[in-house]
Structure 1
């Protein structure tokens, strides 16, 4: 039976069955061993057909119990109103966006008004309507099997953009950012020095934000540009390790210096290893600059040639002290170069608490 047709109460069908057989309500009640109030209640629609009653009706009338349960179910469903497809509209939002996580983070507010609720997602993702897929121009470093942005990554990027837009900084100058590289390099000696990154970048006109990643987003950092041609470096600190922080930061700085991601955004897979043979040229440039920033390539190559294959902890610490960087930064580059990610992992110290103490942050209890 089509849901668009009028649904009649089961009592009307029961009345037709009695008339066909020439039975009275009293006779049916005697056959079933039920009171006449039960039969009259079903016929008038004041009493619902229970499973037990459906079995008795089916036996008495030879129809089977399923007929009467189906008639009762269809009738009860027809009485339930569906105001403006509320359930359908909410289900669509939950299917398309990470709704619960966005509410939890305060990026959108829960609302009983579905129109208000939908408009929040339209505004957040800067789309004309919910049928339009969100997009974002970005040079991003992430880890998954596709170059397409997931909705979790798009949500993260849009939150980064919202925070960056509200941040006040001077106008961007490429020359000042290049001149700031030695200042940043001097911070590699200790994890607590990372708290100074925000001010150094801000003084160059680069907006710098830290946003906790959404579960499953697997995005490390991003470079994108606001409409006033001001660059933004966003980081997730997904991997809370000193080597990853500095590598990703310098990677994104190189994108800024070259103006990558201004017009056509792209996403590069990153499995936390340095694989120059399977990435595009712009990503290659950023990876090389990041690796050389962490440990100068000439120094690292010379060290490997002198020490290999006997990379003792003491030799690495002495080498780190000589070039003025934390041992964890050297270990991270050696892991990439040697493809040994179990190597001296204890030196890959956590850095997140130092980073967020000096940066505009959303997540981990901040903002």
Structure 2
């Protein structure tokens, strides 16, 4: 095999087989063997990182060490009821709590944040308030109780933004302390991402949904959802489908310098949110983005990840993103159906219509997949459903 960074399970298995073969050889190529072992080790570390202790268990351990009772945690957590909720995993730790527990009880920041190497950044002085896109946020009426000018907003940006994000449990809207994966072809503005994340989270918290049941999102679940694409109002019906299954769904335009198609976000209460921007108003983009974000919920929300931001025009070497791409493609169109179609590089428009009808999905989905796989985005422009989504959410 060609020596390169391992990105798939197949490449990983091939490397393992070659390592075994080299080790059994009488005169192995030791340089190649060492490189293969390094590549395998790197791949395994990306998939199976060493887990840090649970933050709540770390607090309980520190209490036992210091002989502390629950009432002794009130100065760090805020009230007797909050202490009880945190220790029973009913309330997430806020940044304020994390900072006080770290400084007062000496619990390592990386344990409380469940992020190797993480450090607590001082509260207000670490925030560059003028980097938040306040003018655009005011234009979109994100601060409904504020009626001043942009200049006035900038003068009180700290207080304004802190109050705005307060119901999410953030002491301050702190970009550096939000655990999030960003897939983008250029450096995304993390202040704009943080503002957008808070906005869609606040909108989601206004939605009433049943409690999400772990394991709900499967390939079969997504295929039931995607059959709605066969209907003219499918993208709008998708919202109702998700809400009834305990998954928040929000449409919000992206902010400049965020390069967003969509995101999967874990809300403070642990419930999942799928948010899309409709940056590209096309049916193929809508359904793939939706499936990709659901893939993150299915595959990656068991750990400590709290958000995935996706520019799906960009390739990604990230293992999380590669897995989500493959999972989403297989959910939209079963692999056996795609293989049986034997489309080749350029099937006829009628063949695509017939294939889509057999699966009861919009032809935009197979047309979009062919465009992506061939790299020819001039194909099937009449099939991908331009300007068919945003009008439904107007």
What TM-score results when the alignment is normalised by the length of structure 2?
0.58
How far apart, in 2, do the equivalents of 1:113 and 1:221 lie? 28
Q: Does 1:168 align with 2:198?
A: no
Contact conserved, 1:160 with 1:234, CA < 8 A, in 2? yes
Q: Would the alpha carbon gap of residues 354 and 259 (structure 1) be closer, same or farther in structure 2, given more than 3 Å must change?
A: farther
Matched with 1:254 is: 295
Q: Post-superposition shift, 1:258?
A: 2.6
Q: Deviations over 1:190-222 (max 9, x none)?
A: 342222112221222111111121233211111
Q: Deviations over 1:308-358 (max 9, x none)?
A: 3442222222222222221211110101111111111121113324652xx
Matched with 1:38 is: none
How far apart, in 2, do the equivalents of 1:143 and 1:250 lie? 18
Q: Would the alpha carbon gap of residues 338 and 137 (structure 1) be closer, same or farther in structure 2, given more than 3 Å must change?
A: same
How far apart, in 1, do the equivalents of 2:134 and 2:222 lie? 40
Aligned pair partner of 1:232 in 273, 284, 287: 273
Q: Post-superposition shift, 1:223?
A: 1.2
Q: Post-superposition shift, 1:116?
A: 4.6
Q: Does 1:315 align with 2:351?
A: yes
How far apart, in 2, do the equivalents of 1:113 and 1:339 lie? 45
**How is 1:152-167 mapped onto 2 (pairs within 5 angstroms)?**
152-167=192-207
Q: Deviations over 1:77-100 (max 9, x none)?
A: xxxxxxxxxxxxxxx74x411111
Q: Would the alpha carbon gap of residues 110 and 177 (structure 1) be closer, same or farther in structure 2, given more than 3 Å must change?
A: same
Contact conserved, 1:169 with 1:202, CA < 8 A, in 2? yes
Matched with 1:30 is: none
Matched with 1:339 is: 375
Contact conserved, 1:191 with 1:242, CA < 8 A, in 2? no
Q: Post-superposition shift, 1:157?
A: 1.0
Matched with 1:136 is: 178
Q: Would the alpha carbon gap of residues 298 and 114 (structure 1) be closer, same or farther in structure 2, given more than 3 Å must change?
A: closer
Q: Deviations over 1:88-147 (max 9, x none)?
A: xxxx74x411111011011133534866554112233556468x655433456x54323x
Matched with 2:340 is: 302
Contact conserved, 2:352 with 2:366, CA < 8 A, in 1? yes
**How is 1:84-95 mapped onto 2 (pairs within 5 angstroms)?**
93=129, 95=130
How far apart, in 2, do the equivalents of 1:102 and 1:288 lie? 35
How far apart, in 2, do the equivalents of 1:299 and 1:216 lie? 38
How far apart, in 1, do the equivalents of 2:277 and 2:309 lie? 16
Q: Would the alpha carbon gap of residues 310 and 332 (structure 1) be closer, same or farther in structure 2, given more than 3 Å must change?
A: closer
Q: Would the alpha carbon gap of residues 257 and 233 (structure 1) be closer, same or farther in structure 2, given more than 3 Å must change?
A: same
Structure 2, unaligned stretches of length 5 or more? 1-127
How far apart, in 1, do the equivalents of 2:304 and 2:136 lie? 30
Aligned pair partner of 2:389 in 352, 355, 359: 352
Which has the higher mean CA deviation after the structures are superposed, 109-118 or 233-242?
Answer: 109-118
Q: Post-superposition shift, 1:176?
A: 3.9
Q: Secondary structure at the match of 2:233?
A: helix
How far apart, in 2, do the equivalents of 1:319 and 1:246 lie? 17
What TM-score results when the alignment is normalised by the length of structure 1?
0.62
How far apart, in 2, do the equivalents of 1:115 and 1:310 lie? 58
Aligned pair partner of 1:98 in 130, 133, 136: 133
**How is 1:1-367 mapped onto 2 (pairs within 5 angstroms)?**
93=129, 95-108=130-143, 109-111=146-148, 112=152, 116-125=156-165, 128=171, 133=175, 135-138=177-180, 142-146=183-187, 149-178=189-218, 180-260=221-301, 263-265=304-306, 267=308, 270-272=311-313, 275=315, 278-303=316-341, 305=342, 307-349=343-385, 350-353=387-390, 355-356=392-393
